[in-house]
Structure 1
Amino acid sequence: MPKSLQPLLDAFRPCFTTPTFTTFVALTIGLIAAPARRTVCGMLTAARMGGHHARAHRFFATAHWNLDQVSMVMLRLVIGWLIPTGAPLLIAVDDTLFRRSGKKVHGAV
């Protein structure tokens, strides 16, 4: 892993168990390094991750990590880089791209 990338990825360490974090790092490096195929297998190949590809597939299917926690870490990193300390932050959310329907879907029309 490039030394410049280590602090960024280390911010995500509390989101994962140690084995899952190792897989996360390999997949992230593979995502960056993959020239075209951004599939799980393509990322593994680009990251030169040894071992069986089932480990990476398990990361998405059954590993214990919380997408909300990962998202909050990412949000804090982006805000920390883009917004000066103490500056106001305006967040606009537009959910018009998401189609909702059904009797049991909150907010559906």
Structure 2
Amino acid sequence: MDITTSFMPLLQVFTAAMSEPTAESFRQLVAGWIFAPKRTILGGLRATQSTKHHRACHRVFANASWSIDTVGLAVFDLVVKLTIRPPTIWLATIH
């Protein structure tokens, strides 16, 4: 199974801070989390019919090279974009 293209921009926030192999494992983890009846790494790999070894997915959280600070700031920016309406601009004239 593959994640729909409409969901990919949300994942880009996370994967921008990761190397490509780590990002691929992360995308598979997210797809598995969405589609799996059991929310475990092995359950997710089974749901997505992945050929990756489960250790590769465990390494995403254990010792892959990505910055939690970078991801956290990117998620914050995404939440702000999705929840805060554009600011109201008031125009005033002086008579």
TM-score (norm 2): 0.78
Could you tell me whether the CA contact under 8 Å between 2:13 and 2:71 is conserved in 1? no
Higher relative contact order (CA 8 A, sep 6+): 2
Residues matched between the structures, number: 86
State whether structure 2 residue 44 is matched by structure 1 residue 43.
Answer: yes
Partner of 1:81: 82
Residue 32 of structure 1 aligns with which residue?
Answer: 34
Alpha-carbon distance between aligned partners in 2 of 1:75 and 1:34, rounded to the nearest angstrom: 27
Q: Give the greater-gyration-radius structure (CA).
A: 2
Gaps of 5+ in 2: 89-95
> What secondary structure, in the 3-state scheme, does the structure 1 residue paired with 2:64 have?
coil
For residues 1-109 of structure 1, the aligned pairs below 5 Å read: 1-35=3-37, 37-86=38-87
TM-score by length of 1: 0.69
Q: CA deviation at 1:20?
A: 0.4
What stretches of structure 1 of length at least 5 have no aligned partner?
88-109
Alignment RMSD (CA, Å): 1.6
Superposed structure 1 runs of 4+ greater than 3 Å apart: none
Q: What is the CA distance between 1:86 and its match in structure 2? A: 3.1
Deviates more, 1:21-30 or 1:37-46: 37-46
Identity %: 36
The one-letter code sitting in structure 1 at the alignment partner of 2:54 is H
